[in-house]
Amino acid sequence: MKEDSIQRHSELVTLIAYHRQRYYQDAVPEISDAEYDELESELRDLEFAFPELITAQSPSQTVGGGVTETFSAVVHRVPMTSLDNAMDADELVAWGERVLKGLPSDSIVNFVCELKIDGLAMSIRYEDGALVQAATRGDGRIGEDVTANVATIAVIPATLISASGASVPQVLEVRGEVYMPIDAFEKFKAFKEGENIVRSAAGKKADPVPVNPRNAGAGSLRQKDATVTAGRGLAFWSYQLGEVIGGPDFTSHDSSLEFLRDFSFPVNPNIEVVESLAQVIEFCQKWQKDRHLLPYEIDGVAIKVNDLQQRETLGFTARAPRWAIAFKFPPEERTTLLKDIQISVGRTGRVTPFAVLESVFVGGSNVAMATLHNEDQVRLKDVRPGDTVTVRKAGDVIPEVVGPVLALRPDGLEPWVFPSVCPCPIKGELLRPEGEVNMRCVETDCPSQRDQRIIYFASRGGMDIEGLGERTVYQLSDAALVGDPGDIYSLTVEQLLTLDGFAQKGAEKLVVAIDGSKTRPLPKLLTALGIKHLGPGASEALATAFGNLDDIMDATEDDLATVDGVGGVIAASLISWFAKSENKTFIEKMRAAGVEFGNVQISRLPQNLVGKNIVVTGSLIDFDREGAERAIKDRGGKSPSSVSKKTFAVVVGGEPGASKLIKAEELGIPILDELGFQHVLETGELPQ
């Protein structure tokens, strides 16, 4: 057993050294942060069980990093240590207990909680008020001189000026994190993808596209040409002092942060001083939930003892302070094997490629499939079956393949080619209409399209038939019990009992749910039809303008196009859809079954939101998404899906969309919580 442990320890030392090189020096990691943390955790566990394995060169005793030959070496006068990690609340409590044991029994300990920015640690040195040097952390003792590049970051002062009139220290070393904001990353990523389109058209090999802001930021900072760095939109948060000569004597960490603010250094506004470990855990849990509210990425919380004298007492291990720890959030990115690329066919014939993955736990759940969006995205990302790929799942977002780990690509992997025929039994031709990004199956009798139309019709956004999900639709289709959504209304309990998994009670419940859907409002019925380009907003406008389905079917294209929120494209799509004989047959089946064609609900609420666009993002307590939008529309307002200059307010619930928040902040749009939303609904005005 011990021999196996010794061998595994040696393997881990080699692996960790390799991945540190790929992460810190090369800025092209081959594994996710979470997988790297697992390697270090396994190493520490082995060394705890067998202390004789610990050497001064062990990764547990050294700081991850190093220097490249691109930049000159800088010796840190005060070592830049790393932080030990706590992966859960129990490990955080254990650290807190060690802190208390290391201090006199009557000590009162306050903790500073800081967001752990997912960037690149930086030391910036000022002498007599002038910026003279900036260096990466490197291995903690020796870093890289990146002064010219750091000097291009707009938020970092070139000279020190105190807002309060305080004296400028002879030497001031400021430590913090250089990072790439999310909006800057998205722009840079789009730029690289655009470049690759040009390169691909010219027959050239595509350049790697950055997979996340951290890697993009690290690569941008290490440019030989500082003007390239200047154009990447990098930013900086300061969080610590290094060497200080001729400055004030600080007694607490938070007072040193105030000093940094006084000299115009950016200090994160979400730093809190708390009095107990319970409050530390509460802070960590809050930001784990709200991390996507921020316009930059964080991967945890840094917790530090506030009192500087207590820090002196606690001291350091070989690689990290005993008075600080990093609480790491669960991973949102992992690497795994891309086993295959397959395609799915939607209700309108749109064909979407998706990745079949070796199952991996990421973003709080096991992921075995992930979207690849469309043909262009597969080509731009250049992912191939057999690749090791990075998978991302942030919050409730659908899992996405970010890109391949090119260094791990096996020899001989051929690029994936989009199929030319539909995977359904009919094997219809797949074509890409001019001006569209999606391939489509042109066979109208395609069984995949038929099944998806029925699934969409019964979904919550359509006729909301509880119990009629994908599995049941596939069973009904295979048994030839339904050929279009109209056939749903002729289903009987006896027919359902012939399907696998249906008992009497379940069959009766589904028949009741189907019957109950006959009285759905006209906008729901219109949306459920699945007409191309026709969404809930335009359905609402049509229902209000015409009052019943028959009048909409009898309207001319010009009549339809003049309805506010409809327009020419939707009008043409409606005319085309209603003209098809199979759709007329489907509608008559619904009429015969007693489906209401003119159920237009008239709101009797005060119309205090007329002319106001209110965007809702995230989950609310008293409203589901549909209920929140209905509450706005019932008062005369609109609830679009995106933020613009015309937006009156953005309502934010749990796990909101980061892009909407960033856009609202950029445009100065008011951001409301649920209480503020209730106020707007009641008064039509923003809360004071």
The number of C-alpha atoms within 13 Å of 587 and in the hemisphere containing its C-beta is 19
For residue 481, what are the CA distances in angstroms to 425, 515, 618?
18, 17, 39
Q: Which residues 6+ apart lie within 8 Å of 52 measured at CB? A: none
Alpha helices in 302-413 (DSSP H): 308-314, 375-381
33: its two tokens: 């942060």
Q: How far apart are CA 161 and CA 167, in angstroms?
A: 9
DSSP 3-state of 626: helix
In the annotation, is 638 catalytic? no
Q: How far apart are CA 542 and CA 562, in angstroms?
A: 10
Q: How many residues does the chain have?
A: 688
**Can you name the residues that pair with 112 across neighbouring β-strands?**
273, 304
Of 19, 242, 24, 26, the residue nearest 120 (C-alpha): 24
DSSP 3-state of 58: coil
Other C-beta atoms within 10 Å of 114: how many? 25
Of 517, 559, 573, 567, the residue nearest 538 (C-alpha): 567
Rounded to the nearest 5 degrees, what angle is found at the Cα of 498, between the Cα atoms of 495 and 500? 130
Decide if 211 contacts 217 (C-beta within 8 A): no
Given 2, 116, 509, 612, which residue is catalytic?
116
Alpha helices in 481-580 (DSSP H): 493-496, 504-516, 522-528, 536-546, 549-554, 557-561, 567-579
The residue with tokens 């969404």 is 535
Residues with a known catalytic role:
116
